[in-house]
Amino acid sequence: MLHALGLVRHLFLATVFLACWNVTTNAQQETMHQQTNRPLENSEPSISLETLTLGAGCFWCVEAVFEGLEGVHSAVSGYMGGQIKNPGYREVCTGRTGHAEVVQVVYDSKIISTETLLEVFFSTHDPTTLNRQGADAGTQYRSAIYFHTDEQKPHAMKALEKAQSNWQASIVTEITAASEFYIAEDYHQAYYELNGEAPYCRAVILPKMQKLRSGFQHLLKIN
């Protein structure tokens, strides 16, 4: 069953890929990357924006979870932690580039704290399975927290220690400083929102969303 879900994901992705003729070029990705990594400028003094990059398996799942939280300004799927520049999805899927599928979360820390984001992170994936989430296996699916400030690192360590009490197996989440972030191709962005009826979304992402609504209803954006 797990293997079948993995095949469903990749087969459906192949269909989307063939239908998408305006896939972002490497040059466009580099431009987008530069724009994404510019220092955040707060136009309103009441807003305190921070960035945290998280890996918890398939980035479709992670993006769906975090983009619905109050205080989150953006949740962008991409790649981090590898050795080459401008990796594409096909390259990352080989596991040879060293990148993880991640979601870069920009949030207002006055509305939702780093501690709360990390509590959601540890509650909506299995941090004890090395290089695997369900049927998705490979180093690109590793559990990882990439901190962007020195202050975020101790929060991540404390969150991991707190989460360990909920698991019998040891947590294997990687905690490391953020490196180059590369935005994933257009067809990966807002994936659950646009493809919610797809088999992979219903089988894998929907249960995560149900768990999120059950345990963190008070954190969700009001539509």
Yes or no: say if 54 and 62 are a contact pair by the CB < 8 Å rule. Answer: yes
Taking only the tens place, the pLDDT of each residue in 107-117 is 999 999 999 99
Triad 44, 46, 48: Cα angle to 5°:
90
Instruction: Report the Cα–Cα distance between both ends of the chain, in Å, rounded.
Output: 35
Catalytic residue list contains 58: yes
Q: What is the mean pLDDT of residues 53-71?
A: 97
Taking only the tens place, the pLDDT of each residue in 148-188 is 999 999 999 999 999 999 999 999 999 999 999 999 999 99
Q: What is the mean pLDDT of residues 54-70?
A: 97
Catalytic residue among 20, 58, 61, 93: 58
Q: Which residue, 107, 88, 175, 95, is CA-closest to 141?
A: 95
- State the pLDDT at residue 11: 54
Q: Would you kindly state where each structural domain of the chain is located, as residue ranges?
A: 2-20+49-216
Does domain 2-20+49-216 fall into CATH 3.30.200.20? no
